[in-house]
Amino acid sequence: MLKQLVLITLVCAVFGQLQNEALPPHKSYKPYVISNAEFNSVLPSNFTWQNVNGTDYLTLVRNQHIPQYCGSCWAQAASSTLADRIKIARKAQWPDVVIAPQVLVSCDEYSNGCHGGNSGTAFQWIKEHNITDETCSPYQAYGHDNGLGCSAQIMCKNCMPNKGCWAQENAKVYTVAEYGDVKGEAQMMQEIFNRGPIACYIYATEYLRYNYTGGIYNDTSSYPGTNHVIEVVGWGEENNEKYWIIRNSWGSYWGEKGFYRQLRGVNMLNIESSNCNWAVPLDTWTNDVRNTTKVTEVSNNHTNNFRHTTCIRESNKNSTQLITGPLPHEYINAASLPANWDWRNINGVNYLSFTRNQHIPQYCGSCWAHGTTSSLADRINIARNRTWPDIALSVQVVLNCQAGGSCNGGQPMGVYQFANKQGIPEESCQNYLAADPKKATCSDTQRCLDCTSPIPTNTTVNPGTCWAVKQYPNWKVSQYGSVTGADKMKAEIYARGPISCGIYVTNKFEAYTGGIYKESTAFPMINHEIAVVGWGTDPQTGVEYWIGRNSWGTYWGENGFFRIQMHKQNLAIETDCSWGEPIVE
């Protein structure tokens, strides 16, 4: 009896009424239309940007509800729609551009931050102000309505121990050339087919939020207005049922890997009677447009007192390995390998997961967790032939579980050991907070989280209701080990994908902006972890180099990556690397 009572209370607390997150456009909304989508007399009966001619044009799945509830669906739909259209315009070539919803939640005054908003005015705001990517402004689930207002640091931030945080210059800038509305089944299909996904409004039911697990959702009841914004990425037809294919922002554990399908052509949930919003990105990537405005004032100086400016990273030398099969260098002769091998582009396909920044919203020495988890995510994408969806692993879970270390540094091999025993959930289970939890327990809520209203009133209190998600994608490795030396590294990378490596970061390396790096150091002391995703050979000089992925944002180096000379003058990059082999069904 008592047990039952407790259960009911819990259900009531959790399955609360859904908030209205979809507001009508602000009164100053004015579409800016230069061109209309082409019109095709015949459209295919199935079409989705998840797979067009074998290519997935969609960026990673997000979760608006963590680490606390925030009604930012409108900002999520606008930013992912724009990111996906940038990916289409860039023909899915490296790197994926992940537009930052946080900028909209904090800065777009046409909307109400975590209290709801409109994707159309979000595009208008972007046209008027421009926007940055996730590595400048990570999602924090607070907005200008509850304590996280707009600032130069929200546009782009960087932090370093003993220096505090500052507004980062040289941020990559994105914007829209035009934006407008589209309504009705036929028009929506034309717009999606010819130009890319659109942001649309629905009446989200409690069933959709809490009970939908897959299939074509059929609910032809009539509902008043709309309360939620989603991204429509395609459509299909199956057993005479016509449906839309929709990206949601409720995590990859929800629905069909974060997506869902609903009936098409019957105005279900009011999807076809409401204006959808579209935007065409302006090409700022070809010429690498940056924000060069410099703000010298440092604020938000935090008290972290780290010993190094880089990430303390313990050696792998004495750690346990788990090797169950032959190693690539045993069956591959490095001399027979191609002169260039780059997982960012193998026969035109980019296999890499999104670029990251370990240093914001505050400094955290989690390099050891970044180099390893990004290599694993990339290897999962490789094993899955880079089919939809793009996989991003949670660094925060690695911190919450102390799987090798903390924000004070750690050991890469610990991450693989954890991935072997427990598995690593995806980013949308626990987004990166760049902070150790008050107490790292690796509890269910520290592994995968969902939250509902009430919306916290400010950033110092968190009255929202959160709970542990019990079923979520969880990625394990079957074996892991270490690898050293150029030939063995090449064989490992070629056969199985990126590896993570220790490196000796110097001030000069921190200031790297591009090119093939080299530096002579008498006693390199490994103090940082990065990933090596391939190698190349300079056609002019014949110099061989490694292609490295760093976790310092896209404003650093070559889109967050670097090239460094192979064999020598390379900051010990070939002396302490590790790898894990993900289990992919």
Ligand X SMILES: *[C@@H]1O[C@H](CO)[C@@H](O)[C@H](O)[C@H]1NC(C)=O
The three-point CA angle 204-72-36 to 5° equals: 80
Q: Which of 311, 367, 448, 577 does the annotation list as catalytic?
A: 367
Closer of 273 and 441 to ligand X (Cβ): 273
Closer residue to ligand X, CB minimum distance, 229 or 263: 263
What radius of gyration do the chain's Cα atoms show? 24
C-alpha 555/C-alpha 559 separation (Å) is: 6
CA distances from 387 to 75, 79, 193, 550 (A): 26, 22, 19, 24
Task: Supply the minimum distance, in Å, between the C-beta of residue 525 and ligand X.
Answer: 12
Rounded CA separation 243/266 (Å): 10
Residues 6+ apart with CB under 8 A from 436: 364, 399, 406, 407
Residue of 248, 291, 550, 570 marked catalytic: 550
Rounded to an integer, what distance in angstroms lies between the CA atom of residue 404 and that of residue 529? 13
CA-closest candidate to residue 250, choices 97, 14, 72? 72
CB of 340 to ligand X, least distance (A): 22
What is the Cα–Cα distance from 580 to 320, expressed in whole angstroms? 13
Ramachandran angles phi, psi of 167, nearest 5°: -75, 120
Q: What minimum distance in Å lies between the beta carbon of 469 and ligand X?
A: 14
Q: How far is the CB of 176 from ligand X (least distance, A)?
A: 10
Side chain identity, residue 142: Y
Work out how close the CB of 465 gets to ligand X at its nearest, in angstroms, rounded to a whole number.
15
Give least dist CB 298 to ligand X, A.
4
For this structure, is 550 an active site residue?
A: yes
Q: 287 vs 324, which CB is nearer to ligand X?
A: 287
Locate 446 and state its tokens: 């520290």
Of 152 and 440, which CB lies nearer to ligand X in the complex structure? 152
Q: What is the DSSP letter of 571?
A: T
Task: Judge whether 528 counts as a catalytic residue.
Answer: yes
C-beta closer to ligand X: residue 21 or 133: 133
CA distance 484 to 576: 6
Considering the complex, what minimum distance in angstroms separates the CB of residue 538 from ligand X?
31
From the list 228, 329, 359, 528, the catalytic residue is 528
Q: Whose CA is closest to 268, among 221, 338, 321?
A: 221
Q: What are phi and psi of 528, to 5 degrees?
A: -160, 155
Binding site for ligand X (CB under 6 A): 45-46, 52-53, 129-130, 132, 152, 155-156, 162, 164, 167, 171, 173, 175, 206-207, 210-211, 218, 220, 236-238, 241, 263, 282, 284, 289, 291, 293, 295, 298, 301, 315, 317-318, 384-385, 387, 457-458, 460-461
Q: What is the DSSP letter of 383?
A: H
Tokens 């949308």 correspond to: 428
Helix and strand totals (H; E) in the chain: 14, 26
Q: At its nearest, how many Å lie between ligand X and the CB of residue 15?
A: 7
- Beta-carbon contacts of 440 under 8 Å, excluding residues fewer than 6 positions away, are 399, 400, 401, 402, 406, 446
Question: Which residue, 451, 359, 456, is CA-closest to 63?
Answer: 451
| Rounded Cα–Cα distance for residues 390 and 570 (Å) | 31
Instruction: State which residue, 82 or 566, has the beta carbon closest to ligand X.
Output: 82
Residue nearer to ligand X on the CB measure, 12 or 335: 12
Q: Which CB atom, from 469 or from 547, has the smaller least distance to ligand X?
A: 469
Cβ(393)–Cβ(356) below 8 Å: no
As a whole number of angstroms, the distance between CA 55 and CA 425 comes to 25
Residues with catalytic roles: 367, 528, 550
